Structure 1
Amino acid sequence: MTAAAPTPWLSLRGIHKRFGPTHALRGVDLDLVPGEALALIGENGAGKSTLVKTLTGVHAPDDGEILVEGRPCRFPRACDAQAAGIVAVHQETVMFEELTAAENIFIGRQPMRGTGPFQWIDWARMNREAQAALDRVGAGFAATTPVRQLSLAQRHLIEIARALSQDARVVILDEPTAALSQQEIREFYGLVRGLKAQGVAVLFITHKFDEVFAVCDRYVVLRDGASVGQGAIAEADEPSLVKLMAGRAIEHVYPPIADQRGEVVMRVAGLSHPTEFADVGFELRQGEILGFYGLIGAGRSEAMLALMGLKPEARGDVEVAGRRLDIRQPADAITAGLAYVPEERQRQGGILGFSVRHNISLAGLAGRGRCETPLSRGHWLSPAREESFAAGLIDRLRIRTADQHTPMSGLSGGNQQKVVIAKWLGLNPRIVILDEPTKGIDVGAKQAVYQLIAEMVAQGLAVILVSSELPEVMHLAHRVVVMKRGRAVAEFARGEADAEMLVAAASGLSLPPREASVAPVFHFRTELAA
């Protein structure tokens, strides 16, 4: 006898949403069941964000029904969705850093004492109830701890504790692990399983298939705003999900990277900062991809910022093309041929309200860049030159945009990343630093970025790849430098180390001895076991 299907707590039936001529959602159906995690899968621009905003009361659907326990329901405002028990935890945590964890959990709804105009916050009750919510998610820190002292992973726990303190029936996790270390991700898996065990329905949005298979029970795939597939995770595999997402099979996500390394283009020695990193050194060759791997807080991004003149307290010896540099501001690095694509593309890499054209030309406006054709005539920007400059890079990087005047905010995550990269490639750099270049983009966009990196090194550029994605650094980098607590502790050539060895080096763990015939060659630096 077949077991009855579980009863969903919340259902969407035939949801449509339009923004002018854009049909963002096209008849989407899904069910959220208590004690289950549903993976919402789709490429950038597939409609996932619009669906989340519809569930949380930010957008009202144009057609279709939202059913709560089988009854039609509408959420005119975000607070109405929260009152119904639907809470979203977003990738970017928004908190008041000077307030405590408890104050952030109860912001806007603090328990009060007294009556009428004579009311005050019941601090003891607030701290007590916040601590109970934090203990429920295994936070391990006090509710009275200021948020500024907490890591990104701990801030995510506050967000989830906030949801549970509101008796959430549905928790939406939107790219929750994008900035977490491997250990923090494993701990996060346990948290999701704990939510399921407590009868919470989880909507899990991620681009990482290992996460989907680790914690989710069912999946729904969106493509171009429509549901194109759903089913049980136990009956799915990665290739079939990718094909549903993209409408095609995506073979060979990682392109072949030839080893055609040339002369040394950059030498760094003794690069140090008073508080963030110490004695970082390496050589970088023409046509090489040098990977930097480490846990969150290892100092990788901070060292790269110093190379770009954004850490003025840093000191060290830096040579580019045999010439010693004194980099005190970004213009010094840019003039020497360095380019930097930051981890936070929307906050640091581009200006979302500016057009694609203006974003691409930004780096060439300072006058000290390396554009073959200046963008200005005298003291004035030449619109014709800017248009030609942007058109060439849009075509070269295959940026999908309606036209040059489209705001950067109107592009998918993958195309936004291409715009940020285009801004620098237009300056003909010698060295490109890519910091988490595929963070928050889907597998199809990742493939495009990887292909672009392969083309860069084939053309003789040198690339520094900072990444928390183990497969990324292992497949793309010719060499990988592992950092731990602000120091470079190990270096591996491609093929010399597996994922376990890289994680062990980054976390300071010791590995059991291996057979001599298969043991890789280690190039240890200092403090590997510290």
Structure 2
Amino acid sequence: MIDNIKSKEGASPLIRFSGIGKSFGNVRALSEIDFDFMAGECVGIAGHNGAGKSTLMAVLAGVYTPTDGYIETGGIRTQHYDADAARRAGVRCVFQELSLCPNLSIAENMCVVHPRLRGRGWRKRASALMREKLEEIFPGNGLSGSELVSDLTLTQRQMVEIARAFTETDTLVRLVILDEPTSSLDAHTAEQLLDYVRKANARGVTCLLVTHMLGEIERVSDRVMVLRDGKLIRILPRENLTRDAIIQAMGQHVEVAHAPREHAVAGASVGAQAAASEYRWMVGPHRRTEINAARGEVIGFGGLAGQGQTDALLAIYDIAQRTARDSVAFVAGDRARDGVFPVWSIAQNLDVRWLGRGGIGADGAVDSQRKRSGWLIDFRAARSLVETWRTKIGIRGASMQANILSLSGGNQQKVLFARALASNAALILMDDPTRGVDIGTKREIYALVRAEAAKGRTFVWYTTENDELAYCDRTFVFRSSRVTRVLHASECTEEALLAASFEEQAA
């Protein structure tokens, strides 16, 4: 058994896991998890995609009943630990896949998880509670609480979900699970959340931070649980907590954490290519903002979240579709709404574009014949393509014939990425494509992007992780739907990005 170091000497655990296991049929998702969640601490949860992190959090939230072991709350063994028992224990959860109802307003979504908000004036009270909590966590967010959720950006929906979890109405909030909470937030907003987590800890609220952003875990965690293949393999205390230690415990190589900057396409030649770009698009308000790209160039979109980057990607996609100059593929950041086909299998989600338009076959060559003969599909070729890209991207977990939702969020994102790369698209647009993907796989994806760019494919890549912009040849920094500055790879430092993010007009 792993030594379970307590954060506060002599204190009783808020919640105790003893021998927790969870199986789904023949698939063993969790095995023999022993851990004490103490009051007022931040626990980081690390592990590769499919390691069991989200399953463990679902057990803690009462969504899944453990197959083995038992759970204690307040020192008492709970016979039937379900969602109601978890709520009575003060457990709240922000799941990786957001749970807001898009057809309801923010205030109405508050009532879904806070049933005490009823009676005359409930809408006004719900809006006031949400505004208060949003301002406490994300100062200057600009939301009133009356907006329709479907009208919000992905970043704003993430902020609302987080604020709703920390809001108190009927019972005190004692433990908040944050599953990839910053995956849709920019650096500034993520910083606000991490500051609030430490303030909540100081008030006695326990926070569980499940994230692939190892720098965030290193900064705010008192302890780190490292999971691998459904098992708790290491507990790292604060005094021994480094990014390299977390990566090594995950069973991956340390060097994956460090992004090289010498990868960019022949420095000076990129600037020369941009002058005679293969692509030019006019985007933004009144189509006054120009984005250009050379064939084989990797273009980044940076800046604070919600500044028009996704709108610019969608505008480029629309232009590319209408002009039909080159085939274009889009990797959606909001996979639940815009990416996966939820009733289809993993294989169907991956090869759907290839079946209709052709793509990159198992031998790496472009297949323009669509592997069809009349109305018949060459299923053998389709299976070969699926298995090739499953291996290349490292899709782990269920059979490729299983439903796409049987995969973890990170593995679902890999399927979307593989779908784009397996197509015959010369232009690939990516809207924060590595959300929820583990650090080792990210490095593999970066290498794939560079390799495909070397073959002449052009990438336009919006990311909320500033470190990823080091892999781009040039970065267009957005503010208020306009480009304030264009940074080459060697200039793309955190300081330069921050300065450009707050510039008022284009340079």
Give the TM-score of the pair, scaled to structure 2. Answer: 0.84
Equivalent residues of 2:330, 2:428 under 8 A apart: yes
Larger mean CA deviation between 366-375 and 280-289 belongs to 366-375
Equivalent residues of 1:93, 1:155 under 8 A apart: no
Match of 2:421 among 403, 406, 425: 425
2:367 match: secondary structure: coil
Equivalent residues of 2:301, 2:309 under 8 A apart: yes
Letter in 1 for 2:120: W
Structure-2 residue corresponding to 1:168: 173
Q: Using a 3 Å threshold, how does the CA distance of structure 1 residues 283 and 244 change in structure 2: closer, same or farther?
A: same
Gapped runs of 5+ residues in structure 1? Answer: 113-120, 310-317, 319-324, 510-525
Equivalent residues of 2:283, 2:291 under 8 A apart: no
Deviations 1:41-93 (CA, angstroms, capped at 9, x unpaired) = 11111111111111111111122121112211144431221122111122443
Q: Using a 3 Å threshold, how does the CA distance of structure 1 residues 5 and 146 change in structure 2: closer, same or farther?
A: same
Equivalent residues of 1:478, 1:493 under 8 A apart: yes
Deviation at 1:164, TM superposition (A): 6.2
Deviation at 1:37, TM superposition (A): 0.9
Structure-2 residue corresponding to 1:464: 460
1:385 match: secondary structure: helix
Larger mean CA deviation between 350-359 and 255-264 belongs to 255-264
Moved over 6 A (4+): 140-143
Equivalent residues of 1:253, 1:447 under 8 A apart: no
Deviations 1:343-400 (CA, angstroms, capped at 9, x unpaired) = 1234423324423332232113435877333232213333233234434444554544
Deviation at 1:401, TM superposition (A): 6.3
Q: Using a 3 Å threshold, how does the CA distance of structure 1 residues 208 and 254 change in structure 2: closer, same or farther?
A: same
Match of 2:296 among 287, 290, 303: 287
Deviation at 1:491, TM superposition (A): 0.5
Structure-2 residue corresponding to 1:517: none
Q: Which structure: greater helix fraction?
A: 2
Structure-1 residue corresponding to 2:98: 93
Structure-1 residue corresponding to 2:192: 187
Aligned equivalents of 1:383 and 1:366: distance in 2?
Answer: 13
Q: Using a 3 Å threshold, how does the CA distance of structure 1 residues 122 and 160 change in structure 2: closer, same or farther?
A: same
Larger Rg: 1
Higher relative contact order (CA 8 A, sep 6+): 2
Equivalent residues of 2:282, 2:291 under 8 A apart: no
Equivalent residues of 2:285, 2:481 under 8 A apart: no
Deviation at 1:186, TM superposition (A): 1.7
Deviation at 1:494, TM superposition (A): 1.5
Asked if 1:122 is matched to 2:134, the reply is no
Letter in 2 for 1:34: A
Equivalent residues of 2:223, 2:237 under 8 A apart: yes
Deviation at 1:459, TM superposition (A): 2.3
Matched residues, number: 480
Structure-1 residue corresponding to 2:226: 221
1:123 match: secondary structure: coil
Aligned equivalents of 2:102 and 2:69: distance in 1?
Answer: 40
Structure-1 residue corresponding to 2:250: 245
Match of 1:344 among 334, 337, 347: 334
Letter in 2 for 1:257: H
1:202 match: secondary structure: strand
Aligned equivalents of 1:374 and 1:144: distance in 2?
Answer: 49
Structure-1 residue corresponding to 2:451: 455
Asked if 1:39 is matched to 2:44, the reply is yes
Equivalent residues of 2:256, 2:440 under 8 A apart: no
- Give the alignment of 1:248-263 within 5 angstroms: 248-251=253-256, 253-254=258-259, 257-260=263-266
Larger mean CA deviation between 280-289 and 62-71 belongs to 280-289
Equivalent residues of 1:56, 1:75 under 8 A apart: no
Deviation at 1:197, TM superposition (A): 2.3
Deviation at 1:404, TM superposition (A): 4.2
Deviation at 1:463, TM superposition (A): 1.8
Q: Using a 3 Å threshold, how does the CA distance of structure 1 residues 91 and 152 change in structure 2: closer, same or farther?
A: same
Match of 1:135 among 128, 132, 136: 132
Aligned equivalents of 2:188 and 2:326: distance in 1?
Answer: 38
Structure-2 residue corresponding to 1:49: 54
Structure-2 residue corresponding to 1:196: 201
Aligned equivalents of 2:387 and 2:109: distance in 1?
Answer: 46
Aligned equivalents of 1:299 and 1:527: distance in 2?
Answer: 14
Q: Using a 3 Å threshold, how does the CA distance of structure 1 residues 193 and 147 change in structure 2: closer, same or farther?
A: farther
Letter in 1 for 2:263: I
Equivalent residues of 2:297, 2:459 under 8 A apart: yes
Larger mean CA deviation between 381-390 and 38-47 belongs to 381-390
Deviations 1:407-433 (CA, angstroms, capped at 9, x unpaired) = 333444454334323323333322222
Give the TM-score of the pair, scaled to structure 1. Answer: 0.81
Structure-1 residue corresponding to 2:404: 408
Structure-2 residue corresponding to 1:520: none
Deviation at 1:269, TM superposition (A): 4.1
Aligned equivalents of 1:254 and 1:61: distance in 2?
Answer: 39
Asked if 1:380 is matched to 2:392, the reply is no
Structure-1 residue corresponding to 2:24: 19
Deviation at 1:237, TM superposition (A): 0.8
Larger mean CA deviation between 284-293 and 465-474 belongs to 284-293
Letter in 1 for 2:47: G
Deviation at 1:193, TM superposition (A): 2.0
Q: Using a 3 Å threshold, how does the CA distance of structure 1 residues 444 and 352 change in structure 2: closer, same or farther?
A: farther
Deviations 1:483-514 (CA, angstroms, capped at 9, x unpaired) = 111111110112124211111211227xxxxx
Aligned equivalents of 2:102 and 2:218: distance in 1?
Answer: 34
Letter in 2 for 1:25: L
Q: Using a 3 Å threshold, how does the CA distance of structure 1 residues 397 and 25 change in structure 2: closer, same or farther?
A: closer
Identical positions, percent:
27
